[in-house]
Amino acid sequence: MQPFTIVTPIHGAIRQEVEIALNSFSQFYFSVTKKHRSNLNLVLVSKREIPTDVIRLAKTLKINDAVLTVLNDKIGLPTSVLNNSPIMFLPFFKEKPEWVSLALYNGLPVLSYEMAGEKLLLDNSCGMLVTNLPTEESISVFAGWLKMLYFDPGAYQMMRKGAKSMYNVVLPLRRGQYLTQVA
């Protein structure tokens, strides 16, 4: 299997959203064999230093070796992160259209909560949206989707193609609004 890297921008995220990202990844990570775990990474992207409580939680969950951090003080994500990340994971409670736009532009399927704005930008062809569920249930749903996308490359490829297509159909007027990548 190829490396499977999930990118989650955390600058501007509240603590609970970051915890959902870490717990979802942890549940997914420990649902696969050790052989597969070596292919899995969660990349946390932040404008500032990653908070110590986030690092501590990753250690407590025993996923610290699989969690990578990228500091980026610019809008968008470094090309190296985008080129090596098959999924954009946005467990945010508020709409983040700039991240959705960035993901779609780069052909990355999006996992997120269902919100009015995201529903207009994402459908089943390019994203998976959790409806209002209790946190623990949301974590299980996100973990299940990560596992499905990891083990079903056909579904992943369809969503990747859908992301590019959705960007070209739904977002043509926004192309200059959000930077798509950072050198």
CA distances from 130 to 36, 55, 106 (A): 25, 26, 22
Residue spans per domain, the chain? 4-174
Reported pTM: 0.86
Residue pLDDT, tens place only, 42-75: 999 888 888 899 999 999 999 999 999 888 766 6
CA distance 85 to 103: 10
Question: pLDDT digits over 85-134, tens only?
Answer: 789 999 988 877 778 888 888 889 999 988 755 566 788 888 898 887 89
Predicted confidence (pLDDT) at residue 178 exceeds the cutoff of 50: no
What does the pLDDT read at residue 179? 38
Distance CA 178, CA 29 (A): 32
Predicted pLDDT of residue 173 = 45
What architecture (CATH level 2) is domain 4-174? Answer: 3-Layer(aba) Sandwich (3.40)
- Residues 180 and 169: their CA atoms lie apart, in Å, by 17
